[in-house]
Chain A
């Protein structure tokens, strides 16, 4: 539907991902002096955390990448978008197992779905995006080079979205809602805050402030042919509404007013999802199609390739303890992977380095644009590293 949806989807999901990773990295944090004593346990020190965040944000706001992102295009399939985020999550020294990555993606998508649903006006999705951007800006405030990339993105968002009409924003929102259709994963923090029911549906209150530009329901006015008001009547609106709050700011700096899109995690509120209750709703989940899709090559597209090609400095031993676990223990993580219902698997497309890179001329050209050191060494990379690759017959 709307060809302007992808940037908003990507930036907001990316923002949620950063909130979650930031919280997990802090939770697994060990003070620097203790870290020196525990050489065998995975230990994140403050430096590492900042570095991971910076690396991911740098990749997210890469100029070439954003140029591609902001082009008018249809939304990606769930599979393709998940692959893009897989890449993004691994654009640093951090490693995530399949189960943790699945959980991360579940949380990100349910959080943004919640924000889209609860936006009072479709245009408020832009304010939600600005809340995410404001937080991202705060993460990199000490690094001027990344900061300027972020500022440039603000400008692009403002340029592209502020002129849109309410109807066009609603089309964007409707496109996003189709993307999120039938996702009802229960998120612990939402259940605790009573914004999500135990059946996975979000609570839509019939109370609170009406959106900016809307009147509190209840008034019927009748006019004469000359335009004078003849009568006014009140009716019972069945809810408990109050007048709209002031409008949030659509500039680079400003009070966004809405809390949607701000960081709801903190070290003391761990991120959890419940898998057990969802299998009874399995009939309603869209089954991930396993059939070969002739358009699949298009899906695993420029964006994912662009992302995979970005060089990231790797320390000496990639396999040792720079792993992030989204669960409380390693055992839980393994358990989650085994017990994840089939219909909720994302069917992530595996990318492997191949020797056929030259076969795709376009790909080779892009590789040329990104490679700084000049050569890739597929042989030396570990299984978890992603290089630019072609897909092998989906």
Chain B
């Protein structure tokens, strides 16, 4: 169903962190940006669609005025808002926001780090663009910081702090940014597997809380009002966001899930775990019967690699890229592209023009 494409070399290997691959497709320039976190550095690669040009950049997590202080980065992700795209980098010290090409840092928010280390680690993790003008970032205390982002410039402000989770935030996701109206447009997940469903606004509204089962939810996605959550047990669960009804449960992986992604136009779901496997699924929602179907389409094994990031490169899911811990050859993301085939859903998908 997919065949392997050439891989992209980066300067150093991916660290074992959840959701450790950022992808931003820049159609007008026929480019795709990738970000991979390695310890205290974000490797950024800009790849042209024809596969001929690559450029690299490295970003460090640093407080703007402190020369020597660096800290470990937990996550780097692109936030695509209607008016602008930003790259958000979260670390032990705080949150940095850059222009999407990584050229200029437009905002820095410092976390309250104690003088001497405490038992509970301090860091920021979990990043999502929400609706038209918000970027939400999670913190190890369970708090969620809501930033108000103007359509240009660096006048970004902290608009609200949501305190609902009691455990460290692991991941968050949104849908309906700037387009159609949704009842719920943000879901946040924590280390105990609890999920909170929100509606954005001047004051974010908590719509629902779906309790966990004492197992970390490391990756979460929101699509057509359905929460898709991946857990440390290797299970994937689908919940109706607003009601919390469990639609489906999949014993998907033999190890901890590190990354989930959804191609919103086709309903393809990508899951990747420490067990070296990437799996492609197809989700179908039937609103009339309020039911969901999950079909397994494809497996891809990245031999001897604990995968830490997997993302579709486009909204239809024609291609996806994968990073793994400590990969030596290739160092960088490995890509797969879909073959023109009849899928098990019975319709053919041609090769998209967008490759890596």
Contact = CB atoms under 8 A, between A and B. Distances in A.
Interface of A: 1-4, 72-74, 117, 120-122, 165-168, 170-171, 173-174, 177-178, 181-182, 184, 197, 199-204, 206, 210-211, 213-225, 227, 230, 233, 235-239, 241, 281, 284, 286, 294-295
B216 A239 contact: no
A309 B306 CA distance: 42
Contact of B246 (A181, A206, A223): A223
Contacts, number: 168
A252 B174 CA distance: 46
Q: What are the 7 closest A-B residue pairs judged by CB atoms, nearest first?
A: A167-B191, A235-B296, A167-B216, A238-B299, A215-B251, A177-B16, A3-B117
A206 B275 contact: yes
5 contacts: A182-B12, A210-B255, A217-B253, A222-B292, A227-B246
B117 A210 contact: no
A241 B254 contact: yes
Interface string B246-285: 1111111111100000000000000000011100000000
Contacts of A174: 15-17
Contacts of A214: 233-235, 251, 254-255
A225 to B, nearest CB: 5
Given A178-B16, A197-B304, A222-B248, A170 B328 contact: no
Interface in B115-161: 116-121, 123
Contact of B328 (A121, A177, A233, A281): A281
B328 A167 contact: no
A238 B293 CA distance: 21
Contacts of B225: none
Contact of B326 (A165, A181, A210, A241): A181
A368 B325 CA distance: 46
A201 B328 contact: yes
Contacts of B5: none
A215 B231 CA distance: 12
Nearest to A215: B251
Contact of A1 (B68, B121, B234): B121
B294 interface: yes
A223 B249 contact: yes
Given A222-B291, A237-B254, 18 more contacts: A167-B191, A168-B191, A181-B325, A182-B13, A184-B326, A199-B328, A201-B326, A201-B328, A204-B276, A215-B251, A218-B251, A220-B249, A220-B294, A221-B249, A224-B291, A239-B254, A284-B13, A286-B12
Contacts of B325: 177, 181
A117 B324 CA distance: 13
B101 to A, nearest CB: 26
Contact of A238 (B123, B214, B294, B301): B301
A217 B276 contact: no
A217 B251 contact: yes
Contacts of A166: 191, 214-216, 232
B171 to A, nearest CB: 11
Contacts of A74: 117
Contacts of B72: 1, 178
A74 B119 CA distance: 10
B99 interface: no
Nearest to B326: A181
A242 to B, nearest CB: 10
Nearest to A180: B326
B310 interface: no
A232 to B, nearest CB: 10
B252 A222 contact: no
A365 to B, nearest CB: 19
Contacts of A121: 232, 256
Contacts of A72: 116-119
Contacts of A199: 328-329
B177 interface: no
Given A216-B251, A217-B253, A181 B216 contact: no
A228 B328 CA distance: 47
B308 to A, nearest CB: 9
A210 B256 CA distance: 11
Contacts of B53: none
A343 B32 CA distance: 34
Contacts of B17: 174
B248 A215 contact: no
B111 interface: no
B110 to A, nearest CB: 17
